[in-house]
Structure 1
Amino acid sequence: MTATPATPAAPVDTPAGTPADAQAKPVRRKRGEGQWALGYSEPLNKNEQSKKDDNPLNVRARIENIYSKRGFDSIDPADLRGRFRWMGLYTQRAPGFDGGKTAMLEEEELDDRFFMMRVRTDGQILGAEQLRALGETSTTYARNTADITDRNNIQYHWVRVEDVPAIWERLEGVGLITIEACGDSPRPFLGSPVAGIARDEIIDGSSALAEIKRRAINNPEYSNLPRKFKTALTGHPSHDVAPEVNDVSFVGTVHPELGPGFDMWVGGGLSTNPMLAQKLGVWIPLDEVPDAWEGVASIFRDYGYRRLRSKARLKFLVADWGLAKFREVLETEYLHRVLVDNPSPATPVAQGDHIGIHEQKDGKFFVGAAPVVGRIDGTTLTRLGDLVARYGALGARLTAYQKLVVLGVDAGDTEAFADDLETIGLTARPSNWRRNTMACTGIEFCKLAIVDTKERSRKLVTELEKRFPDLDTAITVNVNGCPNACARTQVADIGLKGQLVMDEDGNQVEGFQVHLGGALGLQANFGRKLRAHKITSAGLDDYITHVVNGYLADRVEGESFATWAARADEVHLRGEAD
């Protein structure tokens, strides 16, 4: 089923009944927000013009037949800084430009001659063959880089356009793709890493997620959306896919008469205007989830704002319309049926990351393992594939927290398998800090970033492990290199947004704005910001040490960091007292 688009009404320059002589005068047309369904089909910015000029999906043929043969200098700029994204490719940041240049230079001035490439997994299981293919691609074509992102991607760097066809051939040979991993398109889907195997799962949504992917990806119907469109789906009661901050999420629920199905949440997103998704309070059966997804994606395509890129996410439309109108349009114009009402499911205190060793419903075990802030490499992926094969495990899934979960380990092998993970740089027994710290790509490769994130976070984790080796409660730290919140800065206990700050000597240095007490789950909210409070990157270890010591000294029994941060005196939050 393809959702029925709304019939665009042609823009009208003059109202009905206007005298003929008056009609001869030019009348200024209200520009609106570029919503197709209201008749505004002319592009209102260069991004919309580029997509109208040529469907971005067509760029693959040019990469294969022209650019990979003639090299970087042959690439049309409209493809390089636009349509390449639909193939999962961004130019990475050229070396030698500090954070002060990020907003001052044009994009082409920051372009390197190498690419970041995202490989989407969309909740699928990566068996030994897929893991080895990912690892070998990294070591052969990407200088051994391979980060796990918080959207279930593997992210390479140092990719040359000449090598892209060979990379595609290797990855697609094992069922992996890069198509629409970036761009104004259905971005990589977040799926529960324990779908189909967890003992406490409400419903397995794997088939619905696979069907959404079959219908949506590489489909011109959905390749020209106003902006990125993020999807999450889980049938696990721990809500392990961050559903509150996606454009559309399907969350496992139970109807008292109809049984297990999915609620739908819409309009979540972070960046500079963070909003939590709104819950429809419905029951959608498993086989109708793809129809519902298409309906929401089609509303976004047809009614989404296309004039200003800063307002082009679905969350702005949902906020303006309200949930009642959104549901009415979905039901009447796209689904052509009424959704079943059902209270939204209970919210977990905290969302699950599945780290550690856990029994599956079939008697085997899954093992959740943590790299440091998602940073691994091709060698690690290849060796993980070897471990999966040696132990006869089913394979691995990636998580929404820059981690991975290995499925189908025999009961008698779990400890040995966990020990072997340690030998390749992964651990199923991480400290609080390794388990609960995330970081975006940062200035090392990203043209939007202002500060270093990955290496700074690695050093932070190492130091906090020394200072708080036996922390008795989870504290999350999310580190972002710019305001775009790819690492979900606003919903961490300690969220760090990169910016340039002044140190004690008046020098401009790398630093962070601090968000404290953000959370998903039962206490879902955006972190508290303190007026005029910023810290230098060099002072980060000591600052977090002071804040954590303040929490440990001031908390009441059972009080979470988020609850404490909401009530704590600023002297603690500013790190001015222990």
Structure 2
Amino acid sequence: MYRYNQVDQQLVDERVEQYREQTRRYLAGELSEDAFLALRLMNGLYVQRQAPMLRVAIPYGTFSAQQMRTLAKIARTWDRGYGHFTTRTNIQFNWPKLEEVPDILAELATVQMHAIQTSGNCIRNTTTDPLAGVAADEIEDPRPWCELIRQWSTLHPEFAYLPRKFKIAVSGGPSDRASSRVHDIGLELVRNAEGAMGFKVLVGGGLGRTPFIGQVIREYLEPEELFSYLDAILRVYNLRGRRDNKYKARIKILVAAAGIEQFRAWVEDEWQYSRGGDLRLTQERIDEMKAHFAPFDYVAQAAEDQTFAAALAADSDFRVWVERNTQAHRVAGYRIVHLSLKPLLGAPGDITAQQMDAVADLAEAYSFAEIRATQDQNLVLTDVQQKDLYALWQGLQEASLARTNINTLTDMIVCPGFDFCSLANAKTLNIADQINQVFEDLDYLHDLGDIQLNMSGCINACAHHHVGHIGILGVDKKGEDWYQITLGGSATENAKLGKVLGKAIPADEVAATLKVIVDTYLELRAEGESFLQLVDRLGLAPFKEAVYPALA
């Protein structure tokens, strides 16, 4: 992973002291509320329904065991003993005291972490495939490109006050595990006809109040021109994006209004001034960055590990965990391990300080001291030897991180909702508990297969409900929580928006309605057919017929 140089560290240290002085002035009455608002947002601090919330950046989701221990210390010392992972692979602390936030930022700086550009109208944390560097199907590791984008975009003076927030995702190959098509800019690594690596560039994706799937603006971009082309897109957006209405200020609205051909023409015209110039990346710079993400020194493995085979045969619970929570690694003898942050009854994405310390210990013992956060609010240890899987599983069990619900209905992406967020219209965490209680049987969940359930507490769609196989949107009806259901969404390389099933469902009937939906799927599915494939084949009609008479 990337390690700070002297300039990086100096920038973060200076920012801590700047914010410490700004906080002091605000508390002394020397800065107005409005003046401090802009300053605290630049440093990742929101004021939510219950308390301030600090969002800490985890660039492209990769961090170390040492950094995880620091997050645990922050949770214990300055919060209420836990943190919450988000869909941008950041972590949020929901209960810091405003006057103590500078101390938290100073602690983060000791391990090369910060909260810069986790909020505000700027380029946010660039995200990527959580399996970057270890997936067998990727063209190459996308994380060096993410780090280059991070360095280019952090405190970029021209893009510090964009019309609205701006999100970039980079996918490492044909299987899009980064949701690149629902980002302001999506970059997909591809090869051209000569076999050279470059980027397919998509623009104008995004969810929220007005969801759009991104459109291809350039089929192939040579990697050396990455900065110049991104710069051209951002300049066009900065100049032409609306600033009179925040709901219409995202780049997706500009692209939709102008059309992709006109937007492409604007970008090409702007690009002529920077293409081939100072922003062009040299091969030396690219190679220097790739060196930070060189593969680990993997140990050659026997063709078949007898200890691992014996453990699989002897322990059925372990065998199920291996089947559900691990997957193939590009290096023989290693596995990728998914840690579920979706307990039976607990907020999805939450992790306690004790669990953070446990993950740090296990990462050091079994996965080169590196951890990944995922956009579906879980964690991944990417480089575990097969012979160590049983010991790792036992450690995860002790930490309550081994639930075998990865990619099942209860592996839900859920925003904190009305319990925490000042923008939310409806609660989400109680509905997640309700769903877990109805779908507690893991054998039943495994039989259902892969189903992505996403639930947002408002139209801002922080949980990406539009692209869930099943999406749930909380809405307020005269002071009561109701929930609108969509089916058929996807955030993969075949990205599409789900379609609304029908009228909203009252809070106490959400889980029962989901039971009708999945039972309908079980009744109608062909052999080997997934839930999403069945929705594609039959549409919404059979689900509507089953759900609404059942609710009458």
TM range (shorter): 0.7 to 0.9
Structure with the higher fraction of residues in helix conformation = 2
CA deviation after TM superposition for structure 1 residue 287, in Å: 3.5
Q: Partners in 1 of 2:461 and 2:471 — Cα distance?
A: 9
Corresponding residue of 1:374: 349
Query: Could you tell me the percent identity over the aligned residues?
Result: 28
CA deviation after TM superposition for structure 1 residue 257, in Å: 0.3
2:192–2:198 CA contact under 8 A, matched in 1: yes
1:195–1:236 CA contact under 8 A, matched in 2: no
Amino acid at match of 2:420: F
1:442–1:481 CA contact under 8 A, matched in 2: yes
1:211 maps onto 2:185 in alignment: no
Partner-residue secondary structure (3-state), 1:64: helix
Q: Partners in 1 of 2:29 and 2:490 — Cα distance?
A: 45
Corresponding residue of 1:108: none
- Structure-to-structure mapping, 1:303-452, within 5 angstroms: 303-336=240-273, 355-361=325-331, 364-372=334-342, 373-391=348-366, 393-427=368-402, 429-430=404-405, 432-433=407-408, 436-452=411-427
1:162 maps onto 2:65 in alignment: no
CA deviation after TM superposition for structure 1 residue 457, in Å: 1.0
Change (3 A) 1:151 1:526: same
CA deviation after TM superposition for structure 1 residue 528, in Å: 1.8
Change (3 A) 1:127 1:431: closer
1:491–1:518 CA contact under 8 A, matched in 2: yes
Amino acid at match of 1:166: D
CA deviation after TM superposition for structure 1 residue 482, in Å: 0.9
464-473 vs 195-204, which moves further: 464-473
Change (3 A) 1:211 1:126: same
Aligned counterpart in structure 1 of residue 511 of structure 2, from 527, 534, 541 = 541
Q: Partners in 1 of 2:192 and 2:148 — Cα distance?
A: 23
1:544–1:575 CA contact under 8 A, matched in 2: no
Amino acid at match of 1:574: Y
1:543–1:575 CA contact under 8 A, matched in 2: no
CA deviation after TM superposition for structure 1 residue 210, in Å: 0.8
**TM-score, L = length of structure 1:** 0.77
229-238 vs 466-475, which moves further: 466-475
1:480–1:487 CA contact under 8 A, matched in 2: yes
Aligned counterpart in structure 1 of residue 455 of structure 2, from 455, 467, 479 = 479
Change (3 A) 1:166 1:537: same
Provide, for residues 240-260 of structure 1, a one-character-per-residue CA deviation record: whole Å limited to 9, x for no partner: 111111000101212120422
CA deviation after TM superposition for structure 1 residue 316, in Å: 0.9
Corresponding residue of 1:571: 545
Provide, for residues 146-191 of structure 1, a one-character-per-residue CA deviation record: whole Å limited to 9, x for no partner: 1111111111111112111111111121111100101101111112
Partner-residue secondary structure (3-state), 2:48: strand
CA deviation after TM superposition for structure 1 residue 558, in Å: 4.2
2:85–2:378 CA contact under 8 A, matched in 1: yes
CA deviation after TM superposition for structure 1 residue 313, in Å: 0.1
1:192–1:240 CA contact under 8 A, matched in 2: yes
2:167–2:184 CA contact under 8 A, matched in 1: yes
1:267–1:277 CA contact under 8 A, matched in 2: yes
Corresponding residue of 2:53: 116
CA deviation after TM superposition for structure 1 residue 338, in Å: 7.9
Q: Partners in 1 of 2:184 and 2:386 — Cα distance?
A: 39
Q: Partners in 2 of 1:250 and 1:522 — Cα distance?
A: 12
- Structure-to-structure mapping, 1:100-111, within 5 angstroms: none
CA deviation after TM superposition for structure 1 residue 556, in Å: 3.4
Q: Partners in 2 of 1:522 and 1:168 — Cα distance?
A: 37
Change (3 A) 1:330 1:178: same
Corresponding residue of 1:288: 225
Corresponding residue of 2:476: 500
Aligned counterpart in structure 1 of residue 21 of structure 2, from 30, 48, 65 = 65
Corresponding residue of 1:103: none
Q: Partners in 1 of 2:453 and 2:131 — Cα distance?
A: 24
**TM-score, L = length of structure 2:** 0.81
Partner-residue secondary structure (3-state), 2:60: coil
Q: Partners in 1 of 2:549 and 2:95 — Cα distance?
A: 39
Change (3 A) 1:176 1:362: farther
Aligned counterpart in structure 1 of residue 497 of structure 2, from 526, 532, 535 = 526
Change (3 A) 1:383 1:368: same
1:516 maps onto 2:487 in alignment: yes
Aligned counterpart in structure 2 of residue 489 of structure 1, from 451, 465, 470 = 465
Change (3 A) 1:559 1:540: same
Count of aligned pairs: 482
Change (3 A) 1:64 1:515: same
Partner-residue secondary structure (3-state), 2:68: helix
1:128 maps onto 2:65 in alignment: yes
2:60–2:125 CA contact under 8 A, matched in 1: no
1:456 maps onto 2:431 in alignment: yes
Q: Partners in 2 of 1:163 and 1:403 — Cα distance?
A: 28
Q: Partners in 2 of 1:298 and 1:123 — Cα distance?
A: 24
Corresponding residue of 1:550: 520
Corresponding residue of 2:295: none
Change (3 A) 1:362 1:499: same
Q: Partners in 2 of 1:525 and 1:271 — Cα distance?
A: 14
CA deviation after TM superposition for structure 1 residue 314, in Å: 0.3
Q: Partners in 2 of 1:288 and 1:414 — Cα distance?
A: 42
Q: Partners in 2 of 1:260 and 1:302 — Cα distance?
A: 31
Q: Partners in 1 of 2:500 and 2:367 — Cα distance?
A: 48
Q: Partners in 2 of 1:510 and 1:72 — Cα distance?
A: 40
Provide, for residues 223-269 of structure 1, a one-character-per-residue CA deviation record: whole Å limited to 9, x for no partner: 10000101101213321111111000101212120422221110001
CA deviation after TM superposition for structure 1 residue 384, in Å: 0.8
Amino acid at match of 1:413: D
Provide, for residues 261-319 of structure 1, a one-character-per-residue CA deviation record: whole Å limited to 9, x for no partner: 22111000111111110013422233432332222222221221111111000001111
Q: Partners in 1 of 2:103 and 2:165 — Cα distance?
A: 27
Partner-residue secondary structure (3-state), 1:471: helix
1:437–1:461 CA contact under 8 A, matched in 2: no
CA deviation after TM superposition for structure 1 residue 477, in Å: 1.3
Q: Partners in 1 of 2:549 and 2:119 — Cα distance?
A: 38
Amino acid at match of 2:480: V
CA deviation after TM superposition for structure 1 residue 133, in Å: 0.8
CA deviation after TM superposition for structure 1 residue 69, in Å: 7.2
1:191 maps onto 2:128 in alignment: yes
Change (3 A) 1:469 1:313: closer
Aligned counterpart in structure 2 of residue 146 of structure 1, from 79, 83, 100 = 83
565-574 vs 155-164, which moves further: 565-574
Partner-residue secondary structure (3-state), 2:382: strand
Q: Partners in 2 of 1:520 and 1:134 — Cα distance?
A: 29
535-544 vs 565-574, which moves further: 565-574
1:227 maps onto 2:164 in alignment: yes
CA deviation after TM superposition for structure 1 residue 522, in Å: 5.6
